[in-house]
Structure 1
């Protein structure tokens, strides 16, 4: 097998992979209203009622009881039948998806509904592989997650309360590394919602698609360098 080599100058703008996180009720699901183009929302936590009336959005509910099998079937169906069909595909939300999968695996086990150590490993591989599959769908992929915090100490011994997505710790770096953009949803002094896209000692965030360090809620995904250049880092 020989390598297929191409020049970096030949790389064309491609669809992105986004992970947005924040506390429950902050507006993660509502942010999906602002996505341009045809959008499919995979509803795990049953909060898509806030999308009522959005003409460009289709919704498919993920079975939150028999989740292990249904999620696997959903990812395969997307890969085999929906490549390029939607401009955006959102999973709302991955934190609840984790809990549903673990609950289902625990229910199937012999430990009175409590997941065993092997179930956590099944979950870890399932989610990372799901993201890899979805990155091949020729759609913008948006995963939403709840926010969690911990205490972090830097090399100088200074401590920070750090915010990051509520995802299984064993795969957190793997998932975040596979995403092009990780944004923390917040509210500024003018009571406007927006995303922090630049990391600090207290916030995990990143933006590998353009130069913005932040954006308004409705400006998460922009198309074209001309449009991006007009956006200030908010």
Structure 2
């Protein structure tokens, strides 16, 4: 039987975020601004920038025997940590993708090179992992490196486009499961922030509120306080 409820009865729920930018831009440092208690799943070993941040716990993901360890991590989160953290961060999913493939390739017969089947295994594991994590009762924040390509619109115009570095066959799937995809950038005043509105040049989206961009410190906010944000962050 369908469990039907009125849209007006939907209460505020946790969101799923994918933030991306070049290495060293400040993706990991963004975790310092997250409200509440945060767990960082450290894949690329950049969590040292979070030292002395009191509300953050860090768990290192095995970046060699990643296939089994990542599965164990997801199951452990579901069984023992559901609802215990306000935010769970994967840092970063681009490196996690490569680690999973490298581990699978090392088990094969092609001198460490992943097979086509390994790519398919990786794709399903990452997408299914995100589905599991969306049920943990936490904000899910994933970082990714940035890559670019030449994008052609339907009318033949070409643009250099920035987007998260993910396998092309799961980019839309991962992004589709996220409420927010934000590109980390630096504005003219030297402040770091996120582009939340899609353009021909930037892969982005925001399904949680009406903001087109926000400061780094305002990625996750109380939805009732958006009107109170200063300056450009509220436009």
TM-score for the superposition, normalised by structure 1: 0.98
Q: Does 1:230 align with 2:223?
A: no
Q: Which runs of no fewer than 5 residues in structure 1 stay unpaired?
A: none
SS in 2 for 1:229: helix
Separation in 2, partners of 1:6, 1:28: 37
Q: Retained in 1: the 8 A contact 2:209–2:223? A: no
| Runs of 4+ displaced beyond 2 Å | 231-234
2:176 counterpart residue number: 177
TM-score for the superposition, normalised by structure 2: 0.97
Separation in 2, partners of 1:155, 1:69: 42
What does 1:47-58 align with in structure 2 at a 5 Å threshold?
47-58=46-57
Separation in 2, partners of 1:233, 1:77: 41
Separation in 1, partners of 2:106, 2:232: 47
Separation in 2, partners of 1:9, 1:44: 39
2:148 counterpart residue number: 149
Q: How many residues align?
A: 232
Separation in 2, partners of 1:34, 1:214: 16
1:138 counterpart residue number: 137
Query: How far is 1:80 from its partner?
Result: 1.1
Query: How far is 1:224 from its partner?
Result: 3.3
Query: How far is 1:229 from its partner?
Result: 1.4
1:34 counterpart residue number: 33
2:74 counterpart residue number: 75
SS in 2 for 1:24: coil
Q: Retained in 1: the 8 A contact 2:44–2:91? A: yes
Query: How far is 1:233 from its partner?
Result: 4.3
1:209 counterpart residue number: 208
2:120 counterpart residue number: 121
SS in 2 for 1:97: helix
Q: CA RMSD of the aligned region, Å? A: 0.8
Separation in 2, partners of 1:63, 1:9: 43
Q: Which runs of no fewer than 5 residues in structure 2 stay unpaired?
A: none
Per-residue CA shift, 1:76-133, capped at 9, x if unaligned? 1101111100000000000000000000000011100000000000000000000000
SS in 2 for 1:21: strand
Separation in 2, partners of 1:91, 1:108: 25
Q: Does 1:64 align with 2:63?
A: yes
Separation in 2, partners of 1:215, 1:157: 31
